[in-house]
Structure 1
Amino acid sequence: MDTAQRQQEGSAGLYGSRTGTNMAAAGAAELIGTAILVFGGTGVATAASLAQPVAGAGYDSLATPLAFGVALLAVVAAIGHVSGAHVNPAVTLGLAVTRKFPWKYVPVYVVAQLVGAILGALGTWVAFGAPGRDRAALASTVPAVGVGPLQALVVEAVVTFILVFVVISVATDDRVADAVAPIAVGAALTVGVFVAGPVTGGAVNPVRALGPMIVSGSFPSWWVYLVGPIVGGVVAAVIYDRFVRKADSP
């Protein structure tokens, strides 16, 4: 084992998690965390699409971005110390490319995330029944009318860049206070969904898009939501690692 490999194995992951110490627990945490994120976000998005009432009034356009952001905040606080709370292949791959996460564990995390997303989408189907799947497609993301594939891909890449840049900065740099991380990450996802929602549906995460697509059986522009977030996430991780991390605190 070379020095770089030893450093990878022995170094702390996101939010103080320890890479490789218990991959069964980490994989389970990623599965459960992604399921919570997808169920929480798509459940609210599906309810909004169906104009379901909430204590008398229907969901509005603010509900979905806030639901995804709050769900991610809760997940990071709950499992960040166990698995790093990646819950997003764009985060996992960004960390792997910058040698902050071992490549050999990437398949475990990505599979756990995809299975979790499918379970989260199934939960939304159970909650809202046939109308949720048939009329709302379980909140599957789809480019808005008039939005071409290239525009949608660029938007997904940009908003995922924002999310992953924030994740990498607050969760891997010991100059950032621990209590800030979950709030910052949840806020970054909220902003991303606010911006991208009217254009692409605001996946900001390949499995958030693919989980509902698989369960609903609808795959509109699926490759946009696979390629865009991964490119944005990897670029964000590289830029932070190569250029921003080196700056000293004032």
Structure 2
Amino acid sequence: MALYSSSTGVAPARPLVAELVGTFILVFVGCSVAVAGALQRPTAGPSYDSLAVALGFGIALVAVVAAIGPISGGHVNPAVTIGQAAIGQFPWRSVPGYLGAQLAGAILAAFAIWLCFGDAARDDANLGATALADGVNVGQGLLTEALITFVLVFVVGLVASDPRVPSAQIASIAVGFALAAGVFIGGPLTGGGVNPARALGPMIVSGQLDDFWLYIIGPVIGGLLGAFVAAYVLRAFQQEQEDGGH
């Protein structure tokens, strides 16, 4: 099965379990690094910094996509799921189950972080929940989330569908790097959500729901744009190949 495509032929529950566990791993790893940095908990030497947070999310996504891609497509992000469905690369009938599994995985990850790091993780670090930085207004935040999610889903659309790309070998690396890039950009402004499930899980468990809608609408808009632009670029290439073959 191609990465990010339909899971036809796989037992229906297995892709949902894969998406739940995959999203759990992504949020648990990335937000744990964010919490450790916020609480100044060192591993050896200084505590984690902003660089570690972006790398934590990116590395976790590389591992997750490589692990569950053949089972569920490795979406672990509602913006990816909706974008792929909108361009016909994923069945709409499977979207609600995927979104539910992704949100459940993120919520479970937030509880796991609370258990591992204690009450300080929730009270002082909000379990790594995203939030607008001082001086960043809602419009800037919405635009930032849309743009960084556009980058991620554009990359997903091309590495998953371009026949020239050996998806099984490089898709996970490309997508993980795209997520890290998004967090590098968005981190200082919005916390770098890029993913409604990743944002909502810690928000719900920590009770910090300020501007929660921004982290849904921004990524969904960016994801749809990224998916359609990637599909357009790929179709243009395919048309050139067909015209060249005549």
| Distance in 1 between residues matched to 2:154 and 2:121, nearest whole Å | 33
Q: Does 1:193 align with 2:183?
A: yes
Normalising by the residue count of structure 1, what TM-score does the alignment of the two structures yield?
A: 0.92
| Distance in 1 between residues matched to 2:63 and 2:146, nearest whole Å | 24
The aligned amino acid for 1:167 is V
Q: CA deviation at 1:172?
A: 2.1
Q: Does 1:111 align with 2:100?
A: yes
What does 1:42-121 correspond to in 2, within 5 Å? 42-121=31-110
5+ residue gaps, structure 1: 1-11
Partner SS, residue 213 of structure 2: helix
Q: CA deviation at 1:13?
A: 4.4
Task: Work out whether residues 58 and 180 of structure 2, in 8 Å CA contact, stay in contact via their aligned partners in 1.
Answer: yes
2:193 to 179, 203, 217: 203
Task: Work out whether residues 6 and 90 of structure 2, in 8 Å CA contact, stay in contact via their aligned partners in 1.
Answer: no
Q: CA deviation at 1:243?
A: 3.4
Task: Work out whether residues 125 and 133 of structure 1, in 8 Å CA contact, stay in contact via their aligned partners in 2.
Answer: yes
| Distance in 2 between residues matched to 1:218 and 1:180, nearest whole Å | 37
Larger displacement relative to structure 2 (64-73 or 49-58): 49-58
Partner SS, residue 54 of structure 1: coil
| Distance in 1 between residues matched to 2:20 and 2:201, nearest whole Å | 12
Q: CA deviation at 1:16?
A: 7.0
Q: CA deviation at 1:242?
A: 2.5
1:220 to 210, 221, 224: 210
Q: CA deviation at 1:87?
A: 0.2
Q: CA deviation at 1:246?
A: 2.7
5+ residue gaps, structure 2: 242-246
Q: Does 1:172 align with 2:161?
A: yes
1:133 to 122, 127, 131: 122
The superposition leaves residues 34-78 of structure 1 with CA deviations (integer Å, 9 ceiling, x where unpaired) of 000000000000000111111232111210000000000000011
The aligned amino acid for 1:51 is Q
| Distance in 1 between residues matched to 2:6 and 2:159, nearest whole Å | 14
The aligned amino acid for 2:227 is A
